[in-house]
Amino acid sequence: MKLPVPDVILPADELGHVHFVGIGGAGLSAIARIMLARGVSVSGSDGADSATLAALAKLGARVHVGHDAAHVQGADTLVVSTAVREDNPEVVAAQQSGLRLWPRSAGLASVMEGKRTLAVAGTHGKTTTTSLLTSALQAAGADPTFAVGGDFAATGTNAHDGRGDLFVAEADESDGAFLVYRPFGAVVTNVEADHLDHFGTEEAYRAAFEEFLDRIQPGGFLVVVVDDPGAAALAASAEARGIDTIRVGESSAADLRLGALTFAGNRSAADVTLSGHLALVQGSEGGSCLRLELQIPGRHYLLDAAAALAAGLRLGFAPADLLAGLAGFTGTRRRMERKGEVAGVRVYDSYAHHPVEIAGDLQAARALAGEGRVVVAFQPHLVSRTRIFGAEMGRALEAADEVVVLDVHLAREDPDPSVTGELVAAACRLPADRVSYVEEFDAAPAELVRRARAGDLVLTLGAGSVTELGPRVLDLLGKD
């Protein structure tokens, strides 16, 4: 459901009782956690029970499984997930009662009030980069407030109301939400066409990032990963507007440049050279060399960490503290998350749902697998995305040894019989015996176990229910 952003966004303490429709989701649950920490009265509902609902109830929220008009009684403001339909009974009841109806973006903006916001945007890598930046700032003693689109593996939470003046936020572009915020500092990881169900065209998608530049506060800054052509073009545009722009990446044009990248198992590392403007910020004449180390595998994660490091350095924090925070980061759930090992088969789960993300995670999986094979289960996410990118998804999956493609996870869209996971499987040019389309979700665990053998790595990929497969695969392996 798309709701208009109000002309005036009140701070959270002026919203009265806030009810979240879709409170179990990553975006709304993070806002709810922060409001609860600030003493705001919170309730919410979700279509299914979850550990997130239990955690919010423990923090003081009144939570409901299922949606009912009675749940909004006593509420003053509703914050509504984009996945909620217009005929949701709670939304209808709020409209009839004249309550405030806000989209997620307005709810997040309300808790940003009074903080210096660092907004992390980009087609891919937002959750990991936001988490890495948070970890780095915490190690540097900043205690930022943060709202992330995934749970930290170490703490199991996706938000915290910090005592410091910084607010680190994942700035999602999928519904234009990132154009609501007014960040002091912005990070853009990449700009590649996605979410065309909302934007319509690739040109409109890129134009939204240009508009995002206008949201950066005077005196603020932008960090851009310039290895990505779309992001590099955005950096040039930002500089033309007079925005303090910091380039990062392996590119020779980077102010924070990565070199000598190494990957071993679940670890990644790179040398970091500071030059130009960023070296001057650090009080050096240039050439400063640092060592970046991570406990998560993959080149794309090193680039995410480089962006986080650059933002921390621009804010004036000590390099050693920031690097320690990055080295101590143990990952975010659903981002190359290890689920377990049985019978010599390791199982990982990741959120990748765009061709570029699939390619990055399969590269990381290859490093983790060592001498073993990579067996992947991929679930396309959204009919609209599969229609546009299905062939590219299939091509990206060719980096695996064995591929199982599930049917499309519909999320907020209606089914289309002409757009199924079979489109993705058909585009994958591996030998026919190494690729299968499994229409029935419950048949997928057995198919993965049939293909896997000792030493292999099984990777479940996608933004939907595919995350449920890992434990079922491990259970079946234990019964063989």
Q: Is residue 330 part of an annotated ligand binding site?
A: no
Q: Which of 90, 126, 134, 460 is catalytic?
A: 126
For residue 28, give Cα distances in angstroms to 64, 102, 298, 463.
14, 11, 29, 17
**Helix pair 26-37, 51-59: axis angle to 10 deg:** 10
479 catalytic, yes or no? no
Q: Is residue 145 part of an annotated ligand binding site?
A: no
Strands of 42-46's sheet in order across: 62-65, 42-46, 18-21, 77-80, 100-103
Q: Are 91 and 101 in contact (CB under 8 A)?
A: yes
Q: Are 180 and 116 in contact (CB under 8 A)?
A: no
Phi-psi region of 66 (alpha: psi -120 to 50; beta: other; left: phi over 0): left
Q: Which residues pair with 461 in a beta bridge?
A: 350, 378
* Radius of gyration, CA atoms only, the chain: 22
Q: Is residue 129 part of an annotated ligand binding site?
A: no
127 catalytic, yes or no? yes
2 catalytic, yes or no? no
Q: Is residue 124 part of an annotated ligand binding site?
A: yes
Cα 338 to Cα 280: distance, rounded to the nearest angstrom: 40
Place of tokens 């010599």: 344
Place of tokens 């239990």: 54
User: Which residue type occupies 62?
Assistant: R
Q: Is residue 126 part of an annotated ligand binding site?
A: yes
Cα 27 to Cα 149: distance, rounded to the nearest angstrom: 6
What is the β-pairing status of strands 145-147 and 159-160? antiparallel
Q: Which of 52, 127, 130, 332 is catalytic?
A: 127
Q: Which of 77, 129, 170, 420 is catalytic?
A: 170
Q: Is residue 22 part of an annotated ligand binding site?
A: no
Q: Is residue 198 part of an annotated ligand binding site?
A: no
Cα 114 to Cα 371: distance, rounded to the nearest angstrom: 52
> End-to-end distance of the chain based on CA atoms, in angstroms?
45
Residue 38 CB neighbours (<10 A):
14
Please give the positions annotated as active site.
126-127, 170
Binding-site residues for ATP:
122-128
Annotated binding site: 122-128
